[in-house]
């Protein structure tokens, strides 16, 4: 039973659960085997003062999230992309400041028509506009930036005015240099550049910034997480998503951080998964599929690997 005990512990541990192993090992077990499992697994069970082993309430709560992970991924994958993005934004607003990065992610990595579609879906689902709810729920200085981002309808053609891009790179460099005197997010020009310019234009700004300052703008924005996420989602989304995925698969991370694994793979499977795969390999020296193989469990793992394979 020792091997079975270890296999059971493994089936219950990690991201997702190994449903088949649980059915095979636990479903066919005898009462004494289950008692041995409870006695031997102090991470899951507590010895009660009345001499029986009871589940640890905190562990049960965590396991519920892991059992739900596959269901949630299936529901998200089956959703119309407009509804999915609308619901992601609604959930982020409910959770508060720690989740505002999800709003940035949706606003900055979708096409103009996809973001407009999310706004239409939000109207239908919640009888408010995204802009209205962001303005009324966000009380911090990020409000103006977030409202501008979700309201955007960017030009998507290839034309870029290089002189304008260079001029705006200088303006961003000036604002960042003087960030100790004035909060970066309070600069109207910073918000205007990031919320109205096309992505090809912003990539040109990004390039000129490096030429002017000798380093990427990401490095100078490391202390301002909302602005950092905005720039990365607009200019280097494959890097942004690779880092979010890696953080979600680290050991013992918060369940809210873990949720990003589902969100990113489901929302990007039909978009730029190939680029994310390549960037993940470059950054971490292992393929995304290999990392998920050792991190996730059961049906949840199988679904994630299937979705990733679509982009190859």
C-alpha neighbours within 13 Å on the C-beta side of residue 161: 6
In the chain, domain spans: 2-55, 154-235, 241-312
CA distance 223 to 142: 14
Write out pLDDT tens, residues 111-135.
Answer: 999 999 999 999 999 999 999 999 9
- Flag whether pLDDT at 3 surpasses 90: no
Q: Given a cut of 50, is residue 173 above it in pLDDT?
A: yes
Residues 6 or more apart whose Cβ sits within 8 Å of residue 139: none
Residues 83-105 pLDDT 10s: 999 999 999 999 999 999 999 99
* Cα four-point dihedral sign 287, 218, 96, 237: negative
The reply to whether CATH 1.10.220.10 applies to domain 154-235 is yes
Q: What is the mean pLDDT of residues 39-64?
A: 86
Residues 6+ apart with CB under 8 A from 212: 169, 170, 173
Q: Over pLDDT 70: what percentage of the chain? A: 98
- pLDDT tens readout for residues 209-266: 999 999 999 999 988 899 999 999 999 999 999 999 999 999 878 888 899 999 999 9
Distance CA 14, CA 1 (A): 22
| Identical fold between 154-235 and 241-312 | yes
pLDDT at 39 over 50: yes
Q: Is 302 exposed, middle or buried (0-12, 13-18, 19+ CB in 10 A)?
A: middle
Q: Contact, 264 vs 244, CB < 8 A?
A: yes
Helix (H, G, I), strand (E, B) or coil at 296: strand
For the domain made up of 241-312, give the CATH fold. Annexin V; domain 1 (1.10.220)
Confidence at residue 1, expressed as pLDDT on a 0 to 100 scale: 43
């Amino acid at each position: 039973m020792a091997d079975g005990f270890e296999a059971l512990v493994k089936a219950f541990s990690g991201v997702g659960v190994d449903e088949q192993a649980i059915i095979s090992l636990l479903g066919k077990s005898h009462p004494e085997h289950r008692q041995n499992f409870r006695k031997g697994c102090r991470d899951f069970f507590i010895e009660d003062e009345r001499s029986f082993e009871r589940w640890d309430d905190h562990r049960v709560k965590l396991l519920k999230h892991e059992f739900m992970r596959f269901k949630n991924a299936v529901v998200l994958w089956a959703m119309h992309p407009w509804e999915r993005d609308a619901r992601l934004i609604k959930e982020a607003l409910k959770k508060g400041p720690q989740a505002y990065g999800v709003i940035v992610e949706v606003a900055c990595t979708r096409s103009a028509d996809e973001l407009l579609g999310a706004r239409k879906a939000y109207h239908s689902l919640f009888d408010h506009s995204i802009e209205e709810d962001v303005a009324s729920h966000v009380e911090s200085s990020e409000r103006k930036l977030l409202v501008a981002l979700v309201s955007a309808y960017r030009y998507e053609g290839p034309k870029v005015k290089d002189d304008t891009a260079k001029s705006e790179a200088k303006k961003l460099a000036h604002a960042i240099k003087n960030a100790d005197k004035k909060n970066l997010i309070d600069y109207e020009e910073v918000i205007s550049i990031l919320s109205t310019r096309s992505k090809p234009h912003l990539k040109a700004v990004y390039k000129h910034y490096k030429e002017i300052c000798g380093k990427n703008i990401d490095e100078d924005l490391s202390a301002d997480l909302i602005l950092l996420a905005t720039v990365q989602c607009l200019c280097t989304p494959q890097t942004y998503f690779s880092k979010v995925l890696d953080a979600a698969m680290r050991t013992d991370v918060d369940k809210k951080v873990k949720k990003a694994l589902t969100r990113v793979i489901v929302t990007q499977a039909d978009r730029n998964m190939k680029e994310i795969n390549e960037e993940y390999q470059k950054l971490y020296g292992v393929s995304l599929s290999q990392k998920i193989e050792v991190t996730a469990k059961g049906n949840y793992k199988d679904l994630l690997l299937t979705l990733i394979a679509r982009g190859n």
